[in-house]
Chains A and B, each alone.
Chain A
Amino acid sequence: MPAVIADGLVKSFGDTEALRGVSFEIERASVLCVLGPNGAGKTTAVRILTTLLRPDAGRAVVDGIDVVADPRGARARIGLTGQYAAVDERLTGFENLQLVGRLFHMRTAQARSRARELLERFSLTDAGDRAVKGYSGGMRRRLDIAMSLIADPSVLFLDEPTTGLDPRSRLQMWDVIDGLVADGTTLLLTTQYLDEAERLADDIVVIDNGSVIARGTATQLKSASGGDRVEVTVSDRDDVDRVPVVLAGSLQAGVEPVLDHAARQATLPMSSTDHVVPRVVRSLDEAGIDVVDVVVRRPTLDDVFLQLTGHRAENDTDADDDDSTSAAVPEGAAR
Chain B
Amino acid sequence: MTATATPTRSGPVPSDRHVVPTGATWLARDTWTEATRHLTATRRNPELLVFATIQPIMFVVLFVYVFGGAIQIPGFASYEQFVVPGIFAQTIVFGSAFTGIGIAEDMSKGFIDRLRSLPMYPSAVLLGRTFSDLLRNIFTFFIMLIVGLFVGFRLEGGLVDAALATLLLLAFAYAFSWIQALIGLSVKSVETANSAGFMWMFPLTFISSAFVDPSTMPGWLQPVAEHNPFTIVTNATRALYNGYDPGMDVVWSLVWAAGITVVFAALSFRKFTSNSK
Contact = CB atoms under 8 A, between A and B. Distances in A.
Interface of A: 50-54, 63, 72-73, 75-78, 80, 82, 84-91, 95, 99-100, 102-107, 110, 114, 117, 131, 147, 151-152, 154, 183
A151 B4 CA distance: 9
Interface in B140-194: none
Contacts of B5: 106, 110
Contacts of A63: 18
B113 A76 contact: no
Nearest 6 pairs of A and B residues by beta carbon: A90-B41, A86-B114, A76-B119, A86-B110, A103-B120, A75-B119
Interface stretch (B19-27, B59-67, B130-138): B19-27
- Majority secondary structure of chain A interface residues (helix, strand, loop or mixed): loop
Given A105-B14, A152-B2, A87 B111 contact: yes
Contacts of B118: 75, 100, 103-104
Interface of B: 1-5, 7, 10-11, 13-14, 17-21, 26, 29-30, 33-34, 36-37, 40-41, 44-45, 109-111, 113-120, 276-277
A147 B44 contact: no
A52 B117 contact: yes
Contact of B116 (A51, A91, A95, A105): A51
A72 B20 contact: yes
A77 B14 CA distance: 14
Which of A72, A78, A89, A131 has the most chain B CB within a 10 Å cutoff? A72
Nearest to A121: B1
B13 to A, nearest CB: 6
B37 A91 contact: yes
Given A54-B277, A75-B20, A95-B37, 20 more contacts: A50-B117, A51-B116, A63-B18, A72-B119, A73-B119, A76-B19, A76-B20, A80-B114, A80-B117, A86-B109, A90-B40, A91-B37, A91-B44, A99-B33, A104-B118, A105-B21, A107-B7, A110-B5, A152-B17, A154-B18
B17 A82 contact: no
Among the interface residues A51, A105, A147, which one has the most CB atoms of the partner chain B within 10 A? A105
A180 to B, nearest CB: 10
Contacts of B113: 52, 80, 82, 86
Nearest to B2: A152
Q: Residue among B18, B19, B29, B40 with the most chain A CB within 10 A?
A: B18
B3 A110 contact: yes
B199 to A, nearest CB: 26
Given A52-B276, A152-B17, A85 B110 contact: yes
A105 B117 contact: no
Contacts, number: 103
B239 to A, nearest CB: 40
Contact of A91 (B34, B40, B114): B40
A153 B114 CA distance: 14
A156 to B, nearest CB: 11
Contacts of B4: 152
A77 B33 contact: no
Contacts of B2: 152
A54 B44 CA distance: 37
Contact of B119 (A85, A104, A183): A104
Nearest to B110: A86
A91 B41 contact: yes
A1 to B, nearest CB: 15
A282 B156 CA distance: 103
Given A76-B119, A90-B45, A99-B37, A114 B276 contact: no
A154 B19 CA distance: 13
Nearest to B122: A72
B118 to A, nearest CB: 5
Nearest to B44: A90
16 contacts: A52-B116, A63-B18, A73-B20, A73-B119, A75-B118, A76-B119, A82-B113, A86-B110, A86-B111, A90-B41, A91-B44, A99-B37, A103-B33, A104-B119, A110-B3, A152-B17
A254 to B, nearest CB: 46
B276 A51 contact: yes
A95 B40 CA distance: 9
B40 A103 contact: no
Contacts of A90: 40-41, 44-45
A88 B276 CA distance: 21
Nearest to B21: A105
